[in-house]
Structure 1
Amino acid sequence: MLKNISVFFLVFFLCWSVSFAQTPHSSKNDSLKDIMSEINAHIEKYNYELAIDDSHYLLNKAKASNDYYYVSKAYNGLGHVYYDQKDSARARKNYSLGLEYAQKVENDTLLMDSYNNLGNIYSEIPETTNKGIDYYNKVINIANKLKAPAELIIPKTNIGWTYLDNGKYEKAYPYLNESLQLIDSLSQREDFDSDRNSYLFSQIYMLHGKYFTHTKEYDTASYFFNKSISLAIKDSLILPAVEAYKAYSEMLEEKGDFEAAYNAQLKYNEYNSKVFESEKLKQMEIANARFNINKYRKDLDVAEREQRYQDDIIEKSKEKVAVMVISSLILVFILIFLYKINRDRRSLILELKNKNKQYKEAKVEAENLSRLKTRFFSTVSHEIRTPLYGVIGLTSLLLEEKSLGKHKSDLKSLKFSADYLLALINDVLQMNKMESNEVILESVSFNIRDQINSILNSFEFTRVQNKNELHLDFDENIPGFLIGDSIRLSQILMNLVGNAMKFTERGNIFFTVKQIESNNDQSKLYFEIRDDGPGIPESKKKVIFEEFSQLDNSNYNYQGTGLGLPIVKRLLKLFNSEIKLESREGEGSAFSFTILFDVDTAKTENIELEENSVLNENSDQKSILIVDDNRINQVVTRRILEKKDFICEVAGNGFEAIELVKKGNFDLVLMDVNMPGMTGLEASQEIRKFNIEIPILALTAVEVEEIREEIHSAGMTGIIIKPYDVQQFYQIVYKNLSIQKMPEEA
């Protein structure tokens, strides 16, 4: 029975609708909002005849109900139609009427739309450019009153664009810069739709590129053009891609990079052909619409008279069928709504299952790739560090030979190059570990003054080469021993001091360490590295903290990878701190940060003196076994130890080392970890089966974090990383010999 009633209502409703099919809308109860949505849809599809038809219908209906809001919207819709058809006069007339009714409503959003539309009209005419800018400023005034920063982006961008088109670059830049800052700040919000705003992002980046092309800051211009092009390509934004490639090509040609300009021009032609096809289709639609509109205007008066007549008929018959129609609509709406909910629910569940499956597969693949990358970097690190150990070690030994005095300068350069290569390797590995979230801060006791002195000594060659003066201001109130990650702190300071050294010539570097807060258990330190070098331009202050970016400089002896400052920024984040930069071009730069350390109250200078005295008293010769499969490394390690009067014996593999320890009377074993046949770990485990007292120090070129647990599990006493600092190497050897000796004396 219910099914039969529903069919009757549907048949009656369709017949009633057909009887009035000649009208643009079937009911006077049509929502004004729905009509406006149809107008917008017609404009997007170039159905201008239907858009004008619906706009007049909306005008009549809105005026009849004194709804000035939709009267204004209808006039703006007509303005859009004529604007698309390049009929500026009619567009301006309708936009002005739209503004008139918007002022009556006093609706801020409507006013901003009307002002922006009129701004677009007047700003494109050279004689009325200032009038167009005045309308944009009215939009800005309303947005400021409403405290709506998102509404400021478009008018500010339009003003900047207008000034650029008229060659007023210095007036354009403040507006473009404010637009970029606004959209950057809004993009941090969770409700910000980055996909919908990609078009605007791309255009703003493109305009920045055009500005910096004018100022001949070509690197900055390239940076913004590339960001604009990347966004346009990513989101298939054809028109922004065309504009960006065209401006980019012109900039490269002006710069003199003709090959890159030619490639950019090819890209511009590729995307421009797509725009041409789209524009050709649009022009055909507009031409067809104009033909239909001309015919439509002739029949408009007749159609309006017929419409009024039909409206009278509908008004008289409406009361008789209202209940039936409303009932039918409600029933149909409920059925459709229930059906749609059920269909959408099944579709969403299926889509969610597919997405979850894809995400799981992508997660597994990403994890595998990350592991492979980490393993690759670890292997490469070991293979490069092992020969570097021989280079750095032999160079250090040759520097101490008095007979090679005339080659001292060359040897220093050789050692500097090897140290520089090692620093590059460490930077790349450090960035890789931080990207894989493998860096965890350690807590060890260290003497911060000794550490800083060691860092500054390592840059002595660079300081002399660049003819710089280094000034250290160390606060004497800082406790002697602190607890924290001294290795990560060294990496931060090495990068900052190295940066100051390489970008400054015949200048001064000021290194300041001050205690700004303290109590019995903690000490907060302020670090500052300041130079009087070339400084950093305002446009580069954000770029330098990005990976592989670097400022142009005249000191070509030390270019670097551009990883130093990004590593500093990420490491300081682990310390719950951040880097601060103060710089003016031509006046120098200052990098500063603060870190809170725990104070090692148990360790005192007296303890250190006692340990040193133990080493000094133990002056008899010690016997050390060197286990390494690399002959160059054997020679280097042996010569370094023999300079301190140690008696050394060498084993080329783990099997030979085990036999020598069984037969000999060694005070210490230096064991290479990675050896063919039997590894150093396996050899150490075998030695511990018959000798648990002899210290065994691991020699390895692998990162400590990767094998620390394995080394301790194998029974090794400590770790020495290759290539190592000679003085640090001696300290570790003496420390382990003294630890072995102290129980015997007790």
Structure 2
Amino acid sequence: MTGLFWAIGLRAQIPNAAEQEFNAYIQKALIYRNQGQMDQALETLDAAAEWSEKQQNEKGLVDSYHYFALLYQKLGKRETSSFYWDRAALLLENIQYPYGTAFHRYIEARMLLESGNYFMALNMLDIARQRTNDRNLLNHIILAEAESYLKIGKTDLAETNYNALLINSDPLEREYLRTRAYLGLAHLRQEQGQTPQAIEHAENARTIAASEGFSNEQMDAILLLSGLYESNGDFANALLYERQMAQLKDSVFTLQKAEVESSTANQVQFEYLDKEIKRQDEEIVRLHKSANRSELTVIFTSIFLTIISLLAVSLYRNNQIKLKTNDLLHTKNRELQSARDAAVQAMEAKTNFLSTVSHELRTPLYAVTGLTHLLLEENPSESQKEHLKALKFSGDYLLNFINDILQINKIDADKLEPLEVECNLKKVLAEVNKSLAQTAKERKTELILDYDPRIPAQLMSDPLKLSQIFMNLVGNALKFTKDGEVAVIARLIAQEGNQARVYFEVRDTGIGIDPEQQAKIFDSFEQGSIQINREYGGTGLGLTIVKSLLGLFGSKIQLESELGKGSTFFFELDFTCKDDVVEDLNFEVSERDYEFKGLHLLVVEDNKINQVITRKMLGKKEISCDVASNGTEAVELARENHYDGILMDIHMPGISGVEATERIRAFDTDTPIIALTAISLDDSLETFYAAGCNDVVTKPFKPEFFYRKIGENIVEHKMRKTTS
């Protein structure tokens, strides 16, 4: 057990001046324990317990029992530790002592931590924190939480707690807590594979422990350093620390000290029974002088029965306490399980509701955006054009909002996982900048890409999600920057074998973020203030999506900002390098003008309004089409006619677009099929492609994107067939 706690009585729990003697006992026990002198710590605690009994001070007795419980736990005597913990529990039933109750819960958390119940330990530590404001106890709660977090893999929370203890101002155990924190950080860095940092922390722990006389912590640090130096290839230092460890373990002092500690522990363990027997012996001697043998026999029998009765009552009370504790734990477990199930159900209900709403909104929104586009193409008057542009802007805003909600829903519902495909990182960043170049021009802001040429050309990652991350970050930076500069920076941090770590930064010279708002800027619908929301607009979901997407990659977004000077968002990502690296090619995408005239398509759409809009949009490009209102009709038309391409709605009554595509592919593997769908939470692009779709267009869509997909998939396919 690490981080053993010793609260001391300087918190005004004992009001009388004479009772300061109790405080002195506890202070001595604290010093002895931290210096590894367990025998003297036990003897001092025994004196503190005797003083409390004489003074009939129940709070002092509770504290004494608690200290005994922790020290016996340190010595590996769990049953004896539980014995004193139970004794304290009995006393606490009859007195009001908030600090003692908090201390009791802390010890219980230590027991849970030692037995591997880390989540229950964290819950018990939280209960203890709520019952005390004692600085020393709170520091040890922080230390115990750090150890629990480390055990369950929450290294970021563990690191936060350890770092807090490095700067603690505890009046009694400042250096001891710092030593335990350095040891904890050393183990954390060791688990993360950061050996140099682990060595640095372990050396700090060893230095403090040696100077303060913390023998146990010094041995822990030396043992850790020996293994760290060996794993780092520094065998000279590893051997040096192994020898130091051997000297400490084999020293006469250590052996004698272990024997004394065991002897003292056993002595104190049976203290109460010894006292009872001595009192009974004195009574026997007194009676022997004034009574005959028969009377003495009766007394012997009475004494024997009394002792047996006391032991039986004690055993019964212990069992009752343990039964009550087990019942309480089972009850709390059931309550926690019920609360967790309710929270999961609420999250699922929220997710399904938002998914359904966002999906259903797409159908009428398709009509709004489609009809607006058609009306703008029909030479409206200037006054009408102004209204139509406002309607188009509102439609685009609503579409972006719906897409953001669906994206967050998918992440929250664990529907998204990062892919591991070939990715040209420089191309991804360049295309993001290119797509936002017009926005930068409108904001009179220079958009810069600063890319480290040492980054491997071909990496394995998820280019789509990377694009989403940088589109949100760069778009956010441009929104709050005018007449300034937005820079996208990529730097290679390290490369070992086929693994590379890259640092990314999006820096702007915009309005900056108030320090008070920085902590919640990544929460949903947060943009800093109401005034900023009104002035700059937006959904307030972009940075939330960035944070969630980076979480899928095991990374964390960080922020530095100053009002009036700009903001910097930065993070790191790990990549696997592709073996067959090729030279960077010119990845500038040139816009193509496709000839659509003469195409004959099949439009599969169950919504009548959407049928009209799609037919008119195709007619604008002189594309003819047939319309199928359901999947079954689409299969029959595709079997009986020849089409240059098929635009397939996915969500339809009867057979779905996916099933219809599979049936068509059974007799036609050549005709391009583009899925047109209002994607919901349960939809998967991989499912569409697996069914035989060539591409996917999400409704509602921008007309230029719709035409480009028809060109790439249908026009180019027809051209290849013509020339072959």
More helix by share: 1
Match of 1:198 in 2: 130
The equivalent position to 2:413 in structure 1, one of 414, 432, 436, is 436
Give the corresponding residue for 1:484. Answer: 461
Task: String of CA shifts for 1:134-169, please: whole Å, max 9, x gaps.
Answer: xxxxxxxxxxxxxxxxxxxxxxxxxxxxxxxxxxxx
- 1:573 equivalent to 2:551? Answer yes
Report if aligned partners of 1:470, 1:511 keep a CA contact under 8 Å in 2. Answer: no
Pair 1:526 & 2:503 matched: yes
Q: State the match for 1:736 in structure 2.
A: 713
The structure-2 alpha-carbon separation of the partners of 1:616 and 1:461, relative to structure 1 and needing over 3 Å to count, comes to closer
Would you say 1:687 and 2:664 are equivalent positions? yes
Given that 1:468 and 1:501 are in contact with CA atoms closer than 8 Å, whether structure 2 keeps it comes out as no
Query: 1:575 Cα deviation (Å)?
Result: 1.4
- Cα distance in 1 for partners of 2:616, 2:608 equals 12
Q: How many Å separate the matches in 2 of 1:497 and 1:390?
A: 30
Report the Cα offset of residue 668 of structure 1: 1.0
Provide the secondary structure at the position in 2 that maps to 1:699.
Answer: strand
Between the aligned partners of 1:398 and 1:452, the Cα distance in structure 2 is: 36
Aligned AA for 1:530? R
**Residue 673 of structure 1, CA deviation:** 1.1
TM-score normalised by L of structure 2: 0.54
How far the C-alpha of 1:188 sits from its partner, in A, is 14
What is the CA–CA distance in structure 1 between the aligned matches of 2:382 and 2:457, rounded to whole Å?
Answer: 39
Assess, with a 3 A threshold, how the Cα gap between structure 1 residues 620 and 727 changes in structure 2: closer, same or farther.
Answer: closer
The aligned amino acid for 2:517 is K
User: Which of 669, 689, 696 is 1:719 aligned to?
Assistant: 696
Q: Is the 8 A contact 2:420 2:460 kept in 1?
A: yes
Structure 1 position 471 matched with structure 2 position 447: yes
Q: Secondary structure at the match of 1:581?
A: strand
Residues 413-455 of structure 1, C-alpha deviation per residue, up to 9 Å, x if partnerless?
Answer: 4434333222322333333333333321123445555644554
The alpha-carbon deviation at position 716 of structure 1 amounts to 3.6
1:493 paired residue number: 470
Q: State the shift of 1:589 in Å.
A: 0.9
Q: Say if 2:516 is the partner of 1:584.
A: no
Pairing partner for 1:419 from 364, 385, 396: 396
- In structure 2, the residue matched to 1:552 is 529
1:503 maps to what in 2? Answer: 480
1:108 deviation in Å?
8.7
Which of 524, 537, 541 in structure 2 is aligned with 1:563? 541
In the alignment, structure 1 segments of 5+ residues that lack a partner are 1-68, 80-93, 111-186, 204-312
Distance in 2 (alpha carbons) for counterparts of 1:587 and 1:553: 20
Report the identity percentage. 35
User: How big is each residue's C-alpha offset from its partner over 1:162-185, in whole Å with a ceiling of 9 and x where there is no partner?
Assistant: xxxxxxxxxxxxxxxxxxxxxxxx
Give the Cα separation in 2 of the matches to 1:621 and 1:530: 49
Q: Which residue of 2 is the match for residue 155 of structure 1?
A: none
Structure 1 position 497, deviation (Å): 2.4
User: Which residue identity is paired with 1:674?
Assistant: H
Amino acid at match of 2:469: I
Tell me: CA distance 1:340–1:563, structure 2 relative to 1, closer, same or farther (3 Å). farther
Distance 1:387 1:444, change over 3 A: farther
Q: 1:487 to 1:381 in 2, by over 3 A?
A: farther
Aligned length: 475
Amino acid at match of 2:489: T
Q: Residue 128 of structure 2: SS of its match in structure 1?
A: coil
Deviation at 1:354, TM superposition (A): 6.3
- Note if contact 1:76-1:98 (Cα within 8 Å) is conserved in structure 2: no
Pick closer, same or farther for the CA change 1:319–1:373 going to 2, 3 Å: farther
The answer as to whether partners of 1:671 and 1:699 remain within 8 angstroms in 2 is: yes
Q: Contact between 1:479 and 1:599, CA under 8 Å: does it hold in 2?
A: yes
Cα distance in structure 1, aligned partners of 2:511 and 2:420: 37
User: How has the CA–CA distance of structure 1 residues 740 and 357 changed in structure 2, closer, same or farther, with 3 Å as cutoff?
Assistant: farther
Q: Give me the whole-angstrom Cα distance separating, in 1, the residues matched to 2:26 and 2:327.
A: 47
1: CA distance, partners of 2:515 / 2:651: 49
> What residue number does 1:169 align with?
none
Q: Superposition pairs for residues 70-469 of structure 1, below 5 Å?
A: 79=15, 94=16, 102=23, 107=28, 190=122, 193-198=125-130, 320=286, 327=304, 330-343=307-320, 368-396=345-373, 411-445=388-422, 448=425, 451-452=428-429, 455-456=432-433, 467-469=443-445
Q: Distance in 1 between matches of 2:567 and 2:678?
A: 36
CA distance in 2, matches of 1:582, 1:474: 19
Deviations 1:60-115 (A, max 9, x none): xxxxxxxxx9xx96995562xxxxxxxxxxxxxx45x65688569864979xxxxx
Q: Secondary structure at the match of 2:127?
A: coil
Deviates more, 1:573-582 or 1:425-434: 425-434
Check the 8 A contact 1:694/1:740 in 2, yes or no: no
Amino acid at match of 1:683: A
CA distance in 2, matches of 1:464, 1:612: 19
Counterpart CA distance in 1 for 2:721 and 2:495 is 38
**RMSD across aligned positions (CA):** 5.0
Q: Distance in 2 between matches of 1:605 and 1:645?
A: 39
Judge conservation of contact 2:9–2:26 (CA < 8 Å) in 1. no
Query: Aligned match of 2:573 in 592, 595, 619?
Result: 595
1:657 aligned partner, one-letter code: A
Counterparts of 1:420 and 1:374, CA distance in 2: 22
- The alpha carbon displacement at 1:635 in A equals 4.2
Partner SS state of residue 403, structure 2: helix
Q: CA 1:328 to 1:462, structure 2 compared with 1: closer, same or farther past 3 Å?
A: farther
User: In the alignment, is the contact (CA less than 8 A) between 2:425 and 2:459 conserved in 1?
Assistant: yes
> Are 1:578 and 1:593, in contact at CA under 8 Å, matched by a contact in 2?
yes
| Cα distance per residue 1:682-728 (max 9 Å; x no partner) | 43344344434323222111247624465356544432222235454
What amino acid maps onto 1:510 in structure 2?
A: A
| Cα distance in structure 2, aligned partners of 1:77 and 1:518 | 58
Flag the 1:398–1:440 CA change in 2: closer, same or farther, 3 A: same
Q: 1:532 to 1:708 in 2, by over 3 A?
A: closer
Q: Which amino acid aligns with 1:630?
A: N
Distance 1:329 1:629 in 2: 90
- Deviations along 1:174-231, one digit per CA (max 9) or x if unpaired, are xxxxxxxxxxxxx99959711222356899xxxxxxxxxxxxxxxxxxxxxxxxxxxx
Q: 2:254 — aligned with what?
A: none
Contact map agreement 1:74 1:98 (CA 8 A) in 2: no
- Name the SS of the counterpart of 1:193 in structure 2: helix
Matched with 1:661 is 638
Residue 540 (1) aligns with residue 496 (2): no
Amino acid at match of 1:193: L
Cα–Cα, structure 1 residues 374 and 102, in superposed 2: closer, same or farther, change >3 Å?
closer
* CA positional deviation for 1:605: 7.5
**Unmatched 5+ stretches in structure 2:** 1-5, 32-118, 136-278, 288-298
- Quote the Cα distance in structure 2 between the aligned partners of 1:75 and 1:363: 38
Q: 1:452 to 1:690 in 2, by over 3 A?
A: same
Once the two structures are TM-superposed, the CA of residue 405 in structure 1 deviates from its matched residue by 6.8
Match of 1:512, SS state, is strand
Partner of 2:651: 674
Q: TM-score, normalised by structure 1?
A: 0.52
Give the 5 Å matches for 1:10-89: 79=15
2:464 counterpart SS class:
helix
In the alignment, the residues of structure 1 paired with residue 531 and residue 10 of structure 2 have an alpha-carbon distance, to the nearest angstrom, of 62
CA change 1:619–1:636 in 2 (3 A) is closer
Q: Which amino acid aligns with 1:428?
A: I
